[in-house]
A and B are shown apart, each in its own frame.
Chain A
Amino acid sequence: MIASPQPELITVNVDGREIAVPKGTNMIEAARMVGVDVPHYCYHPKLSVVGNCRMCLVEMGMPAVDPASKAPILDPATGKQKINWMPRPTIACATNASPGLHIRTTTPMVKDCREGVMEFLLINHPLDCPICDQAGECKLQEQATGYGRGYSRYIESKNVKPKRTVLGPRVTLDDERCILCSRCIRFCKEIAHDDVLGFVDRGSHSTLTCYPGKELKNNYSLNTVDICPVGALTSTDFRFKMRVWFLRQTNSIDIESSAGVNTVLWSREGVIYRITPRRNDAVNDTWMADSGRTLYKEVRAENRLVAVQIAETAKGAAPADAGLDMALFAAVNLMSEGKVAVVGSGRSSVEEQFLARRVAEATKASAYLVARTGAGDGLLISADRNPNTRGALVAGLIKALPSADLSALGAAIDAGAVRTILCMGEDLRAAGLTEAQLKQVRIIYLGTHRNGTSDAASVVIPTTTVFEKSGTFVNQQFRLQKFSAAVPAPSGATDDLLVLGRILFGLDGSQPAVSDVHGLWDRLAAAVPSLDPIRYRNLPDTGLLLDATPWQSLAFPEGKGLHHP
């Protein structure tokens, strides 16, 4: 585990409470640290500060000093240094902590400022909350409740602006709801580097627009929906599917690449409705790619495997409606005959890879991993499209980076050295084995979706997707991060850990099968001492950086990305 450097701390005062914060922290964040909410719309911690919404106005003061001698001026009443309060309110978002800075957020002036801004934001707002997708997670709603007056004095007609504008394949815009905070414009310019959004016209008639003929279609477009504080930008996929307050949130990790983007799965009654990014300042800030947001649809895909399959040749005396027990029995039998190879997966969790390693050890099998690479996008899709290649190294399943294809395994098959393959959800044909080679081996396939390999397998045991189980991945930074089950697996699919654990028990019988992630971590930490004292339950939500020095010499494929050199 690596410790991060400590920043210089200075003392500021928020509503009478002193707090030490890193120098330069803006006053919204400083207040947050003492539990004081400074409401805001345009400010976003990961975008440039523009200060246009004016919701974060606070009173600001500085300790008084004698202009000539610079000596502190004391307040005779308190004996403490006098504070010079500025007569006008200041925006907290653009005010950075300097020694002795004071802010007040509860004064009548601040209250009046907030009520004024709230009133202004609502006069031209359609107030169509009952049919607005943002309802329940709308800053305008929350802050109207928290800081508004609760009644309207506006009797004039409201602005009319475009509604239901298709901004791109995934984002829909309602301009009447837009409060012109410019977060989305800044995101496109500063983060996605795709300058397609802007304001046209001016004053209250300013209108958010995508340049005619262009589309907001970059692979990060849905982040604009995430950061839109109101219901102006909505996800075309999620629109009108579910009221957000019915949804349960579960922390997860994006499996698109080794970037290890932190996510939240939003589910209700066993069904996932959307995936959004979860803030991790060391990994993905508050962003994620659009492509990772629809992966939950695999849970209910048509080719999902939900029934054990045992080929006639492997069945022996098993009955026709063979269950999991028979499949496991058949798998153990096949592997016990020797000449086994294990094809692990960079998509498996660290825990699964550890058990796969144990299986390989028990069967004296060589272990392989299927490489999955592509061009990195410089942001949050890295060149290694496996989320957990490094996990396989850490768990000891592999010692070197996977080759581009499985030709070494192919050669071993051709040489007659491999008769049985335990395959962790990979498609061996796509990974480079020939049809002829596949015919020479018996495949035990543990996976979630049907493919050419599952079709050719002797034993198929349906397992679970990342959304249905708990575990950890190690990302490109060697950061160990955990994910949790959001929804139950479909009937017929079994947690990978249970399957592997029972296979292992069947093979060597030395230790009883451990099928839950917590129990497994005791064994993992015992086998990989550098991981101790980490356990699944004490792993922070933002992960822990592991010592990468043992693998320093490996030529990892990742290039520059967000928070990756």
Chain B
Amino acid sequence: MPEQRRLIFQHIDEPGYANDLACYQRNGGYEVMKKAFARPPAELIDEVKKSGLRGRGGAGFPCGVKWSLVDRKSGKPIYLVVNADESEPGTFKDRYIMHQDPHQLIEGIMISCFANNVKQAYIYIRGEFPHGARILEKAIAEAREASFCGPNVLGSSYSCEIFVHRGAGAYICGEETGLIESLEGKRPYPRIKPPYFPAVLGLYQCPTIVNNVETLCHVKHIVAMGGEAYAKIGTPNNTGTRILCVSGQVQKPGYYEYEVGKITLGQLLNEVCGGPLPGRKFKAVIPGGSSAKVLKFGERFKGKRKVGAEMVDYDWGLEDVPMDFDSLAMIGSMGGSGGVIVMDDSVSMVEALGNINEFYAHESCGQCTPCREGSLWMKRITNRMVHGKARAEDGQLLKSVADQIAGRTICAFGEACAWPTQSFVAKFGDEFKGYAETKAGGRNGTGAIV
């Protein structure tokens, strides 16, 4: 079994580790930032580019590229917005960073702000983390007191404030332009792109960088070890470590930090997480947060992939798939936010989809027609199926509705709500077709899930 490599989660759940400044500094905290502030900002951006760091929020967009897209000639202030909305179901990594190691995040924020000449950062934290918000506020106050942020940081002429901004229970605020609208005090309707790319027309129509909590923590470690050294961790194009959040029906759910691509799904679930619950077999897994396409145990994936400069054949069972961005994309799903949700053979896939559909129907902001109407329609279909009025053709209808949403909306929520339906029906079509009959046999072992 591969060993965990804990960069970000080094101190999480460590006995005696506190979330105050003193403890953080005892463990070497803010030393990286001090050194970084002695370097030209452009060099820091370069380190991040060289590191190959990909965003840990869901899309996996290269962080260095994101930073290089920022309009630095507009004359307007540049904002950094920390996406701490952690709203993708199945994801729970940023929670631990913010609750247990907030100064790591602040150090990452300050290095990133300094690198990008940002004078104002906002941490948009989900409303369901009231303690997290208080912890961050206290940590910022401590850091400010010690001149790690605020006016004249570390005695320099550079000043930068960080404020915590609480959301109030809306998944859509995880979408970066929805988040920006929310931060502006409006309904969090994602913006049309073009023209509203955050790097050019973001918060208050100013250039804005929106980065995930974990991503910003990685920046600290990249600057500490150098971009090239960081790029050697993990696998090419999938560098560094990432936190995999495992939940659902496994023996040992929880968070595990591995070098990207150095662990397979099978190792993660069978060895690290101890396999299925007693008497059960794995049936399906969603590998990157609830909007990622579901994978079915027993599936095989064949094709060619790039290894170094060569194209090589691969023939994987589901358990053989490495947990990195590119491999998961190759087999038709995604690494997303790192939330791995496991379902065993006690679960009806119709009901599981019903649960997911209820989530997306509840969370659709309602701006775009396809997502607004389609997400609710899909929920109503699965609800009807679960409540005794399933028809054999409902699976195909569900898929057709989802097909009319994906790729046709302002933001990626369209895909997020369509992909579960598309993949559940594609992979478990028989279950949908036969649900009217099997349902009569009584509910599955989990009890109601929808």
Q: Would you call A89 and B365 a contact (CB within 8 A)?
A: no
Q: How far is the CB of B170 from chain A (nearest CB, A)?
A: 8
- Complex Cα distance, B370 from A52, in Å, reads 9
Within B105-149, the residues touching A (CB, 8 Å) are none
**A121 with B373, Cβ < 8 A, contacts A153-B397, A156-B380 known:** yes
B376 located at the interface, meaning its Cβ lies under 8 Å from any Cβ of chain A in the complex: yes
Quick check: A89 and B407 within 8 Å, CB to CB?
yes
| Docked pose: A116 CA to B401 CA in angstroms | 8
- Complex: A123 Cα to B170 Cα, angstroms: 25
Q: In the complex, which residue of chain B has the Cβ closest to the Cβ of A206?
A: B366
| Chain B residues numbered 181-239 whose CB sits less than 8 Å from any CB in chain A | 187, 189, 192, 194-195
**Known A-B contacts A157-B380, A199-B187; A204 and B192 likewise in contact (beta carbons under 8 Å):** no
Query: Which of A49, A51, A116, A204 is B366 in contact with, Cβ under 8 Å?
Result: A204
Q: Bound state CA distance, A116 and B362, in angstroms?
A: 21
A124: Cβ under 8 A from any B Cβ: yes
Please determine whether A123 and B369 come into contact, CB atoms closer than 8 angstroms.
no
Contact present for B194 and A120 (CB under 8 Å): no
Are the C-beta atoms of A202 and B364 separated by less than 8 Å? yes
C-alpha spacing A112/B408, complex, angstroms:
11
B194 touches A94 (CB 8 A): yes
For B384, the chain A residues whose CB sits under 8 A away are 156
Chain B residues numbered 328-379 whose CB sits less than 8 Å from any CB in chain A = 361-370, 372-377
**C-alpha gap A112/B404 in the complex (Å):** 8
A163 CB within 8 Å of chain B: no
Residues of B156-198 whose CB lies within 8 A of A: 170, 187, 189, 192, 194-195
Chain A residue contacts of B376, Cβ below 8 A: 124, 159, 203-204
- C-alpha gap A119/B372 in the complex (Å): 12
CB pair A206–B372 under 8 Å, yes or no, is yes
- Bound form: Cα–Cα A115–B403 in Å: 12
Closest approach, in angstroms, between the C-beta of B375 and any C-beta of chain A?
Answer: 7
Q: Binary interface profile of B, 396-418, with partner A (CB < 8 Å = 1, else 0)?
A: 01001001110111100000000
Kindly state the separation between the CA atoms of A36 and B189 in the bound complex, as whole angstroms.
Answer: 30
Whether A205 sits at the interface, judged by CB under 8 Å, is yes
* Count: A-B pairs, CB below 8 Å: 96
Residues of B close to A112: CB separation below 8 A? 404
Closest approach, in angstroms, between the C-beta of B404 and any C-beta of chain A? 3
Closest B residue to A179 using CB positions: B369
In the bound assembly, the distance between CA atoms of A113 and B408 in angstroms comes to 8
CB distance from A86 to the nearest CB of B (A): 10
CA distance A89 to B405 in the complex (A): 12
Is the beta-carbon distance between B408 and A50 smaller than 8 angstroms? no
Do A120 and B364 contact each other (CB < 8 Å), given the known contacts A52-B410, A154-B377? no
Instruction: Render A138-170 as a binary contact track against B, CB cut-off 8 A, 1 for contact.
Output: 000000000000000110110100000000000
Smallest beta-carbon distance B380→chain A, Å: 4
Interchain CB contact under 8 A, A54 and B366: no
**B10 to A: closest C-beta gap in Å:** 39
Chain B nearest CB, measured from A463 CB (Å) = 52
B192: contacting residue among A51, A153, A179, A180, CB under 8 A: A51
Q: Closest B-chain residue to A89, C-beta based?
A: B408
B381 within 8 A of A: yes
Given A57-B408, A120-B404, A123-B377, verify A203-B366 contact (CB < 8 Å). Answer: yes
Interface string of A108-146 (1 = CB under 8 A from B): 000011011101110110000000000000000000000
Q: Across the interface, do A119 and B404 meet the contact criterion of CB distance under 8 Å?
A: yes
The answer to the question of A53 belonging to the interface, with a C-beta cut-off of 8 Å to chain B, is yes
Interface residues of A in 204-235 (CB under 8 A from B): 204-206
User: In A424-481, which residues have CB < 8 Å from any B CB?
Assistant: none
Nearest neighbor of A153 in chain B, beta-carbon distance: B397
A91 within 8 A of B: yes
**For chain B residues 34-57, which have a beta carbon within 8 Å of chain A?**
none
A70 contacts the other chain (Cβ, under 8 Å)?
A: no
B393 closest partner in A (C-beta): A153
Whole-angstrom distance between the alpha carbons of A208 and B377 in the complex? Answer: 20
Give the chain B neighbours of A537 by CB distance below 8 A: none
Q: Is there contact, CB below 8 Å, between A120 and B366?
A: no
User: In the complex, which residues of chain A have a beta carbon less than 8 angstroms from the beta carbon of B408?
Assistant: 54, 57, 88-89, 113, 116-117
Cα distance A373–B365 when bound, in Å? 48
Residue of A nearest to B397 (CB): A153
CB-defined interface of A190-204 with B at 8 Å, one 1/0 digit per residue?
000000000101111
Q: Does A310 contact B (CB under 8 A)?
A: no
A496 CA to B365 CA, complexed, in Å: 59
B194 contact set on A, CB distance < 8 A: 94
Inter-subunit contact B364/A204 (CB<8 Å): yes
In the complex, are the beta carbons of A94 and B381 less than 8 A apart? Answer: no
Contact across chains for A203 and B407 when beta carbons are under 8 A apart: no
How many angstroms from the CA of A156 to the CA of B389 in the assembled complex?
Answer: 11
Residues of B with C-beta under 8 A to A117: 369-370, 404, 408
Establish whether residues B192 and A91, one from each chain, have CB atoms under 8 Å apart when the complex forms: yes
For residue A283, CB closer than 8 A to chain B, the reply is: no
Residue contact B370 to A54, C-beta cutoff 8 Å = yes
What are the interface flags for A471-501 relative to B under an 8 Å C-beta threshold, 1 for contact and 0 otherwise? 0000000000000000000000000000000
Say yes or no for A27: interface residue by CB 8 A criterion. Answer: no
Task: Name the contact of A203 in the complex, choosing from B195, B363, B397, B409 (C-beta under 8 A).
Answer: B363
Which of B170, B195, B403, B408 neighbours the largest number of chain A CB atoms within 10 Å of its CB?
B408
- What's the least CB distance linking A115 to chain B, in Å? 8
Would you call A50 and B364 a contact (CB within 8 A)? no
The verdict on A55 contacting chain B, using a C-beta distance below 8 Å, is yes
CB-CB under 8 A from A206, the residues of chain B are 366, 372
Report the separation of the CA atoms of residues A157 and B376 in the bound assembly, to the nearest whole angstrom: 11
Q: Compute how far the CA of A154 lies from the CA of B400 in the bound complex, rounded to whole angstroms.
A: 12
Would you call A204 and B361 a contact (CB within 8 A)?
Answer: yes
- The smallest C-beta distance from A525 to any residue of chain B, in angstroms, reads 49
Chain A residues lying within 8 Å of B368, measured Cβ to Cβ, are 52-54
CB-CB under 8 A from A203, the residues of chain B are 361-366, 372, 375-376
Distance in angstroms from A156 CB to nearest chain B CB is: 4
Known: A88-B407, A89-B408. A156 touches B366 (CB 8 A): no
**Given contacts A54-B409, A94-B192, A116 and B370 within 8 Å (CB-CB):** yes
Name which residue of chain B comes closest to A42, CB basis. B369
Q: How many angstroms from the CA of A180 to the CA of B189 in the assembled complex? A: 13
A204 touches B373 (CB 8 A): yes
Alpha-carbon distance between A94 and B193 when the two chains are bound, in angstroms? 9
Question: Given that A119-B404, A120-B404, A199-B187 are known contacts, is A52 also in contact with B369, CB under 8 Å in the complex?
Answer: yes
Instruction: State the CA gap A154–B378 with chains docked (Å).
Output: 11
* Residue of chain A at shortest CB distance from B394: A155
Contacts of B407 in A (CB 8 A): 88-89
Q: List chain B residues, Cβ under 8 A from A52.
A: 189, 367-369, 410
Bound complex: CA of A116 vs CA of B170, how far in Å?
26
Q: Cβ of A124 and Cβ of B373 under 8 Å apart? A: yes
Bound complex: CA of A203 vs CA of B170, how far in Å?
A: 11
Give A141 to B65 CA distance when docked, in angstroms.
46
* Chain A residues within an 8 Å CB radius of B170: 202
Who on chain A is nearest to B380 by CB? A156
B189: which A residues are within 8 A, CB to CB?
Answer: 50, 52
Interface string of B53-82 (1 = CB under 8 A from A): 000000000000000000000000000000
> Can you report 5 residue pairs joining A to B where beta carbons are below 8 Å apart?
A89-B408, A117-B370, A202-B187, A203-B376, A204-B375
Give 5 nearest A-B pairs by CB, closest first: A116-B404, A120-B373, A156-B380, A206-B366, A204-B376
A residues near B, CB below 8 A? 49-55, 57, 88-89, 91, 94, 112-113, 115-117, 119-121, 123-124, 153-154, 156-157, 159, 179-180, 199, 201-206
Contacts A124-B376, A203-B366 known; list 19 others, CB within 8 Å. Answer: A50-B189, A50-B192, A50-B367, A51-B192, A51-B410, A52-B367, A52-B410, A54-B368, A54-B408, A88-B407, A89-B408, A120-B369, A120-B374, A121-B369, A123-B373, A156-B377, A156-B380, A203-B363, A206-B366
